[in-house]
Amino acid sequence: MRKFKSLIFLFVLVSLVCVSCFRIDREEKFTQNFNFSSVEENKEPKNLYKPTKTEFFNGVDYRMSRSDVGKYGGQMVSSSIGEGPKTFNPWSAKDATSSELSALMYDGLFSTDIDTGEVIPSLAKEMIISDDQKTYTVKLRRGVTWTDGKEITADDVVFTWNEIIIAGFGNTSLRDSVLIDGEYPEVKKIDKYTVEFSIKKPFAPFQRMIGSQIAPEHVFRPVVNKGKRYFDTYMGTTVNPKKIVSSGPFILEEYVPAQRVVFKRNPNYYEMDEAKNVLPYLDKYVVLFVGDLNNELLKFEAGELDIISVKGKDLARFKEKEKKSDFKIYNLGPNSGTMFVVFNLNTRKNKDGKFYISPIKQQWFNDINFRTAVDYAIDRDAMVSNVFNGVAQPLFTAESLSSIFLNEKIASGHIKDIEYAKSLLKESGFFYDKKGILFDKNSNPVEFDLYTNAGQTEREAVGVMIKEDLRHIGIKVNFKPIEFNSLVNKLLTTADWDMILIGLTGSPLEPHSGKNVWNSKGHLHMFNMRFDSDKNDELLSWEKELDLIIEQGALEIDFNKRKEFYDKYQQIIYDERPIIYLYSPLVIIAIRNKIKNLHPTALGGALHNIEELYIEN
């Protein structure tokens, strides 16, 4: 499948690059609690894969497997924290679980090579880019079919782009990201297997973004005709699996809310091994919704799960058990996502004429001294040491530690400094009573709510630490873990929150995938969300600058010149602190020895090639 996950929630997934850009003292703190060099030895060597090839066989342009020939049968079981997906419609998905599960069912035109980071063919077999880098000609594979037997053609591609993505159906993040200098790409059919994408200016991220998942026109056109509201509900969690027409390696077989989702192999998938066996090999792939990390750990130790993300507090014990057990541990390097707390800077009124948050809190959160004081009060080193047992690293930047666009000048950040934090608060008119409680200049006690998603025990532990850290500067924090879907609704729909602890997935190769976060009109511009009902809205000065930088960075083709733009945007976020970044864990997984054809990498994770995995009993 080799899918590269888009920027949505949780952040989650994958990683790339090493920690060498950090100073020595950071690395020493990073390793003081646990010597994970033995885990490092388990990393798979690079470049195991053969070049991507296509072979025409029995009327189909098959993508050839780059792994060893496996065998059919068996099931693999993994897990997910939380209550499960909100939808199986990939074009409406706004959370990581929904996106990841729908990615098993729907393929895109292209994906990412997990060794090199290069764009490689999926449903497409070739892409030709014009010399002026404004025309992309995509050739589709012949004979590839949807699960109902109808052939996948250029009509499906044109429909998906023009009438779903560009028309603004579902999650508009991709549409927001491909708005190039005020215009969307022109997408047209050349012939049955050829599509042409035209853009007005060279646009560096477009080659990667063009690989978006494709929808079957004959199924989705009637859905689109019923409007956006109906589209958002289509293929929800109550859908009959038999009615889903898809293209990926797996087909939805069963979904039991809050318990499990079961996929079965697609017998007509377009990948084939050297022995002419059509992949995937696994009969079934099962995801259990385990509720919380402790339950997940118990299920793995009981043999109910085949793969688990190993947390820092458990790593030493897992490493000892590995010697006499049926699993192996892999260290994949720094997580490519970002974990942070975000302030609600919204000062507008909703459609009912009410403020999203109280005017008192608006004044606090929009005070740069207040935000900076909160930042300096947070003890990231303690988080790394106490919550992750040293198997993580402090994070200060909007780009992840694995990003090739990381701003190294600010990556090392700063140390906790309570006295400096207090001085900033006093500078803005805040004062303390005899008990050390903080009041604003109007004598309002400083108290607000901090939300995160329940069940993520590490995240809950971090929330408790932040509450305690801010108590040291006189702030009372009401920490409230809630169900993930409720958290997303607060963040993106109602905007009735003060501060949220959450994470985002990210691309270590393409910062523009975060446009929907940084653009002032972006769907994930969470710190100052704008809704259709918002009128006469003024941008903050640095929001205007971010809008310009994100556009300019995407239009620049030269890497070094692009990096200048992205260094600058990271500097703005670091200085203005609408989001305060916290930590980046190592991605360490344990996986059963019976799972073969594993090629875990920093960029791809462990299951990037799930269609090639097989079970050897």
Residue 398: inside a domain: yes
Do you know the residue count of the chain? Answer: 617
Tell me, yes or no, whether 443 lies in a domain. Answer: yes
Residue 303: which pLDDT band, with cuts at 50, 70 and 90? Answer: very high
Asked whether residue 96 carries a pLDDT value surpassing 90, the answer given is no
Residue 292 banded pLDDT, cuts 50, 70, 90: confident
pLDDT-derived band at 533, boundaries 50, 70, 90: low
pLDDT in tens, 66-91: 999 999 999 999 999 888 999 999 99
Q: Are 272 and 65 in contact (CB under 8 A)?
A: yes
Give yes or no for residue 54 having a pLDDT over 60. Answer: yes
Q: Which residues form the domain of 430?
A: 338-506+578-586
Q: What is the mean pLDDT of residues 482-497?
A: 91
User: What pLDDT shows up at residue 51?
Assistant: 60
* Residue 431, domain CATH: 3.10.105.10
pLDDT tens by residue, 421-477: 999 999 999 999 999 999 999 999 999 999 999 988 889 999 999 999 999 999 999
Residue 437 lies in a domain: yes
In tens, the pLDDT along 439-449 reads 999 999 999 99
pLDDT of residue 82: 82
Angle at 358 between CA 356 and CA 363, to 5 degrees: 110
Do the domain assignments include residue 449? yes
Please determine, for residue 246, whether its predicted confidence score (pLDDT) is greater than 90. Answer: yes
Assess if residue 519 is contained within a domain.
Answer: no
Q: Which residue's structure tokens are 């690059």?
A: 17
pLDDT band at 177 (very low <50, low <70, confident <90, very high): confident
Over 60: is that where the pLDDT of 502 sits? yes
For 306-358, the pLDDT digits (tens) are: 999 998 889 989 999 999 999 999 998 888 889 999 999 999 888 888 899 99
Indicate whether 509 pLDDT > 60: yes
Residue ranges of alpha helices (H) inside 226-365 are: 228-233, 293-301, 312-322, 359-365
Assigned token pair, 405: 């666009």
The arithmetic mean of pLDDT across residues 416-424, rounded, is 98
| DSSP letter string, 212-238 | -B---HHHHHHHHHT-HHHHHHTTBTT
Report whether 175 contacts 154 (CB < 8 A): no
C-alpha distances out from residue 284 to 84, 167, 251, 596, Å: 18, 35, 9, 15
- Total domains in the chain come to 1
Amino acid in the structure at residue 29: K
Q: Distance between CA atoms of 460 and 453, rounded to whole angstroms?
A: 8
Contact assessment for residue 313 and residue 475, using Cβ atoms and an 8 Å cutoff = no
Mean predicted confidence (pLDDT) in 586-591: 93
pLDDT at 430: 98
pLDDT of residue 251: 98
DSSP 19-75: STTS-HHHHHHHHSS---HHHHTTSPPS--SPPP-EEEETTEEEEEP-S-------E
Whether 21 maps to a domain, the answer reads no
User: Model confidence at 603, in pLDDT bands (50, 70, 90)?
Assistant: confident
What pLDDT sits at residue 14?
Answer: 26
Confidence of residue 217 (pLDDT cuts 50, 70, 90): very high
**pLDDT for position 39:** 46
pLDDT for residue 350: 83
pLDDT for 50: 53
Tell me the average pLDDT across 550-556.
92
Determine, yes or no, domain membership for 559: no
Does the residue 236 lie in any domain?
A: no
Q: pTM for this structure?
A: 0.74
Considering only CA atoms, give the Rg of the chain. Answer: 24
> Poorest-confidence range of 28-32, 209-213, 513-517, 579-583?
28-32
And the tokens for 275?
């022995």
